[in-house]
Structure 1
Amino acid sequence: MKKSNTMKKEEILVRLQEFELFKGVPSEQLEWFAEHSELHFYEEGDTIFKPGDAIDEILIIIEGAFRLLSISNQQEREIATKIKGEVSGFLPFSRAKNASGVGRVIEKTIILGLNRSYEREMLRDHYELCQVLVHEMTSRVREFTGFQKQTEKMAALGKLSAGLAHELNNPASAIVRSAGELKKHLSLQPKKFKKVIKIKLTEELTDRITDLLFDKIQSPSAPKSLMKRKDLEDDLSFLLEDLQVDDAMELAENLADYGFEEKDIQSLAEQVKPEDIGAILHWMSDNLAIEKMVGDIQESSERISTLVNSVKVYTHMDQGQEKSEVDLHEGIRNTLNILNHKIKSSGTKIKLDFDEEIPAVCLFVSEINQVWTNLLDNAIDAVAGSDDPGIILRTRQKGKDVQVCIIDNGKGVPDEIAARIWEPFFTTKEMGKGTGLGLELVKDIVEKHHGTIKLKSQPGSTTFELCLPIS
């Protein structure tokens, strides 16, 4: 960048008068601006400012253009493009002191800069000029707030999507795996069926075998202790080898899953021919294996169904945008389902202390679910690093209100931070992990419902207390 005064003051004044922004501003005020400003010349690719640089000039683009870029996770994202005739940098009454993004030139650019040291003189003597610049500042704040709120929503959506993708991937993978094993298993059945069909058993003995099988399927009693289970497998394996049964080790593992004991097999061996015991046990084992694989598929399918239903209720996607009476507990539980991946990966223990007698509350459902998401997401982050991370969710009826408390055992919120947590754009998270709009959004939604939200915090116990009117 170079500073220069090669462009004449009269030419600068003409340029300013041509810009739509300054229509209606008296010529003498623009002449004062041109006289007290300096020209900055940039080449394509030059950086006008970077994060942390002081915002000390009102910048008016005389020629060219530059991009405003935000930096998140070491990646640049375009916020806006500033072109000829537009304003950037410092504006009257703005409290911004330092740049939070990057200004990068995209073509040869000339910028007129007025140092903020002239702010008082401008406010005192040049009303119309100040009015234009203040209006520009309010427009900038409105646009930036909209951008940041959209960023906050996209960040929240990203977190939920990542968690849901992980949560759905596990049961989906289990279904694919179990279905593949089941198909392979069933393909071997005709060959094994030949051995079983040759066996001649009485009707009474057949009933005993099938009753034993169904008892084990309906009431499996495998040892809970890994050591006891291993001992059982070894005992069964030795017994099966003594009975000259093929694949004794594999068979023992499967029978142990359903709590078969040595006495069950010995009793069976005493009632059938020695050459038939192997075929009978393999037939029973095959049925147990099929039962287990079908059970795994059913359990995984139910998990997917639960997650899909949680998303449906969470987003309220099959309902209108009007208020409706809802069970607060259902919304909280669905939010926990959606955040389950983050809860599990952080090792956070969730305790539900719900008063199941509280009445339904009239709410904008999808909005109040954003409240649970933001508060729970923050609470999970807050307990990270704790020896025994935990969150308590408590509900109570307080007169005409329902009280919801979200309590975490994190390190707490210092007083100087607690005083600012509801401010727009205030965040203690590192760049890329927070926009500072999460708690502001929470407060706005709660107040929209004519409720209140308070923070009480000390090391080891932080409580967000919400009160929502029942009607």
Structure 2
Amino acid sequence: MVEKAELLRVPVFVDLPDDQIAWFIGQAEELRLKAGDTYFRQGDPADAMFVVLEGQLQARGEIGGETVVIAMKPGDVTGVLPFSRMKQFAVGARAVTEARVLRFPSSLFPDLVQKMPELTQRLVGLMSDRIRETTRLEQQRDRLASLGKLSAGLAHELNNPASAAKRATSQLRDVLTKIRDASHELGRRDLTAAQKSEIEKLEASFVQSSEVPPDPLAVSDLEDHIDSLLRSHGQNDLWQMAADLARKNVKPEALESLFAILDSDTARAALVRIAASVEVATLLNEIESGTSRISDLVRAIKEYTFMDQTPIQNVDIVKSLETTLTILNHKLKRGVVVQRDYQRVPLLVNSFGSELNQVWTNIIDNAIDAMGGKGELRVRTYREDNCVVVEIADNGPGILPEIRSHIFEPF
């Protein structure tokens, strides 16, 4: 038998009149549960409210593909509440220890509203708290899902330049060995000052060359010409060197000066050193490019999350959009062309920068998905009176007419 004093210890029943407490107890059913007993299952009709009097209980189920576990203790009210639209229990509940629970049928909610208005008001407040908590958990889950996608993309974006830099570093060791051996070979020969000067001049000119790389067909022709030149001077096994020099747009006539002032073996050592120096310069450029890309991505991540900055500040809208586009580059580069139309004057908004970036991320990510990863993304900013307007559009198929009228419905 449930005593009035027991129910008055439950927070939502505190200070309610004795006659109302007595009526509630009279309409409710006391359940005595053993550890492991289930008192409602996921998918059962939501036909009762439960008040936990003694023991520990646990609700568990799958919501949105994730396992949810909720612990309940004496004083908690669970199940369906007045004015709730719940039709079925979204989770199942069982006793963890021996427990006593008061079951109040939902069919009596109309009477409850009439006879216990203060309790009804408290239960509505409790339901509002539930909704807020559920919304908070859903938002947190969405953020984590979004973070997971961004993290996967960023990991891929970081891995590419990191792998390129690592590969270039590995190759650099081999090339430096070639330079050392070729330098030793040249050091054993009695070279005049003019010969040394010519070798150094050619080496410097090839290393510092900033010419635009020729097209593949021109490279192939140039490789053939260089290889023919080398063979004409007895260097029949330097075809790889010919290919390397051709990619740097080295002209055959520039190499003729070496053979004019050096004997065949000395010219070979000089060529090996010059080609290796050219390759070192190329590899260093690759390493610099890769590490610069990593540095740019890290800076973009810090700007995107507003790391080490105050949460609320004057946010540069264009910079915020560009940072988001950088973060999403792993999806954009697969076939999305970004058309930018930014107002030239700075557009500053006092806001939560990281949350604004989350807004841009969601909209742009949806646009990319709507286009199937290929299409045109248009980003425009301008000022309108005291407001900043941001327009993000895509050339995807758009929202289906039959669901267009429902897009702002919350559920």
The change in CA–CA distance for 1:201 and 1:395 in structure 2 (over 3 A counts) is farther
For the 8 Å contact 1:48–1:105, the answer to whether it is kept is no
What code does the residue aligned with 1:222 have? P
Matching residue of 1:377:
365
For the 8 Å contact 1:222–1:256, the answer to whether it is kept is no
The answer to whether residue 352 in structure 2 is matched with residue 362 in structure 1 is no
The answer to whether residue 399 in structure 2 is matched with residue 413 in structure 1 is yes
For the 8 Å contact 2:227–2:239, the answer to whether it is kept is yes
Deviations 1:156-191 (A, max 9, x none): 333333333332233233333323332343244332
Q: Percent identity?
A: 32
Report deviation, 1:86: 0.9
Which secondary structure state, in structure 2, belongs to the residue aligned with residue 112 of structure 1? strand
2: CA distance between counterparts of 1:248 and 1:47?
A: 83
Matches within 5 A, 1:316-327: 316-324=306-314, 326-327=315-316
For the 8 Å contact 1:353–1:392, the answer to whether it is kept is yes
Larger deviation, residues 41-50 vs 14-23: 41-50
What code does the residue aligned with 2:316 have? D
The answer to whether residue 41 in structure 2 is matched with residue 49 in structure 1 is yes
1: CA distance between counterparts of 2:61 and 2:262?
A: 78
What code does the residue aligned with 1:351 have? V
2: CA distance between counterparts of 1:273 and 1:102?
A: 90
Matches within 5 A, 1:6-155: 10-11=1-2, 15-38=6-29, 41=33, 43-44=35-36, 46=38, 48-50=40-42, 53-69=44-60, 71=62, 75-78=66-69, 80-103=70-93, 105-155=95-145
2: CA distance between counterparts of 1:248 and 1:38?
A: 95
TM-score by length of structure 2 reads 0.84
What code does the residue aligned with 2:340 have? D
Matching residue of 2:160:
170
Deviations 1:373-396 (A, max 9, x none): 222222223323x6x333221223
Larger deviation, residues 306-315 vs 25-34: 25-34
The change in CA–CA distance for 1:363 and 1:125 in structure 2 (over 3 A counts) is same
Identify unmatched segments of 5+ residues in structure 2. none
Matches within 5 A, 1:284-323: 284-323=274-313
Deviations 1:167-222 (A, max 9, x none): 22332333333233323432443322111234555655655554444444422443
The answer to whether residue 340 in structure 2 is matched with residue 353 in structure 1 is yes
Which secondary structure state, in structure 1, belongs to the residue aligned with residue 344 of structure 2? coil
What code does the residue aligned with 1:26 have? P
For the 8 Å contact 1:54–1:98, the answer to whether it is kept is yes
Matching residue of 1:223:
214
TM-score by length of structure 1 reads 0.74
Report deviation, 1:349: 1.0
What code does the residue aligned with 1:179 have? T
For the 8 Å contact 2:313–2:350, the answer to whether it is kept is yes
The change in CA–CA distance for 1:104 and 1:296 in structure 2 (over 3 A counts) is farther
Report deviation, 1:76: 2.0
Report deviation, 1:258: 0.9
Report deviation, 1:296: 1.4
The change in CA–CA distance for 1:283 and 1:133 in structure 2 (over 3 A counts) is same
For the 8 Å contact 1:358–1:397, the answer to whether it is kept is no
2: CA distance between counterparts of 1:293 and 1:399?
A: 52
The answer to whether residue 330 in structure 2 is matched with residue 338 in structure 1 is no
Deviations 1:410-469 (A, max 9, x none): 332346655555565x4xxxxxxxxxxxxxxxxxxxxxxxxxxxxxxxxxxxxxxxxxxx
For the 8 Å contact 1:390–1:409, the answer to whether it is kept is yes
2: CA distance between counterparts of 1:415 and 1:56?
A: 37
Identify unmatched segments of 5+ residues in structure 1. 1-9, 427-471
2: CA distance between counterparts of 1:314 and 1:280?
A: 51
For the 8 Å contact 1:196–1:283, the answer to whether it is kept is no
Matching residue of 1:457:
none
Deviations 1:47-105 (A, max 9, x none): 8333x554332122344333344647855243x31223211121112233344455455
Which secondary structure state, in structure 2, belongs to the residue aligned with residue 91 of structure 1? coil
Matching residue of 1:3:
none
What code does the residue aligned with 2:87 have? K
Instruction: Tell me the matched-pair count.
Output: 408
